[in-house]
Structure 1
């Protein structure tokens, strides 16, 4: 269908304040507690929103515990706002729903089992401020043209080892990435519903969809920030058999729905020179 909108006016406002941490969680309260406690301790955290998609709402005990820990862990006089964003159904599209009353332009999207040290996170925020239209994150991925059949190009999705081997990337995953809050609106209300339906049906690839949306809007690559992140949970869906095949299928199906390949490859990465003893 060749969907190729551009919304420069919708992503042109300057960054305000710090950043809003948007945590996606699913039945892992112990990990959620660790994650909320950590991000509450980061001085640039303005708010913490937990995307909750379980049938049962969070218990009053859990809500009270997390509010208390946010207040206790915060290192600043200004305490981060804390809120659960409740959803009636389990759907990966929920993690990109628009949020009312945000005070920041910067969204840091993160899974409940990913901990990024505050100093590393703050450095990534400064990188994002230099390019607020693009996606800035810690988990790079790539694509490449695998072949052409009957005039149709087929692409492969490459994980970390492909990025390491090739020295290039074209996506950063939303499991640990900054993007402008306007992309929540674009994802929910402007991206083709066929892509929403695909993510709902396959229960996968919402992160690829967001990468494609931002690349399609900016005609620019993302920015990979080199920094150590800690994964505190057990292996997720990326460890399951057939994961690579499903990601390949998602990528090609989305490109077919777009009618074009919007991803832009790059070999640039941002490194905090203060953390390195050599240039």
Structure 2
């Protein structure tokens, strides 16, 4: 567990060492506007990609407003890029589709209803740079074997209070986490299709799938960072 009292690793100034936000949204335009307005001012943000899976495309009014907000909030002579990634199918797997024009290695995956201060996001990014193959996130969860069933293939999922009570965690959720862009490709093309089918059918668990995918690829646990 890292927190803001822990000295972060040194910062890197290379442009590819900035990060991109990939934000999942669904018919919550006020929340989307609020989140974009907030995160556009974060110092090392390079671009924002909005994962859009609604049946109708974003309205001209919404597009105009968000582009104006991003431009007005960009600081120090930089201009944060804003793009809508339009999907025909409504599936939570869309949030992990490969993005061809992603210019940064670092991705900050976030839901439209979750806001952390830029200082917390920047700190988590520093931590991620020290371990760029793993996931670094703000929302920890835990799982353990279901001993009552006596089945080594069945596990129990524990929420925040399980983490608080046991003092342990085994994953961080992608609703607020950094990871390398290469995992988009692995999730879509290499992860067993049965997992993606489960996610689409049940409209759930894509965050668990991504956390386990990264853990399997690295053989290492995620890093939980405390943020406000």
Give the drift of 1:31.
Answer: 0.4
Tell me the SS of whatever aligns to 1:85: strand
Residue 27 (structure 2) aligns with: 27
Q: 8 Å contact 1:70–1:82 — kept in the other structure? A: yes
Q: 8 Å contact 1:20–1:108 — kept in the other structure? A: yes
In structure 1, stretches of 5+ residues that fail to align are: 1-13, 229-279
Tell me the SS of whatever aligns to 2:49: strand
Report the number of matched residues. Answer: 215
Within 5 Å, which residues of 2 pair with 1:190-229? Answer: 190-228=190-228
Within 5 Å, which residues of 2 pair with 1:38-49? Answer: 38-49=38-49
Higher relative contact order, chain-length normalized (CA < 8 Å, sep 6+):
2
Residue 168 (structure 2) aligns with: 168
TM-score, structure 2 as length reference: 0.91
Within 5 Å, which residues of 2 pair with 1:53-202? Answer: 53-147=53-147, 149=149, 152-202=152-202
Give the drift of 1:154.
Answer: 2.2
- Residues 172-222 of structure 1: per-residue CA shift (max 9 Å, x gap): 000000000000000011101111100000010000010110011111100
Tell me the SS of whatever aligns to 1:115: coil
TM-score, structure 1 as length reference: 0.75
In structure 2, stretches of 5+ residues that fail to align are: 1-13
Give the drift of 1:15.
Answer: 8.8
Give the drift of 1:148.
Answer: 6.6
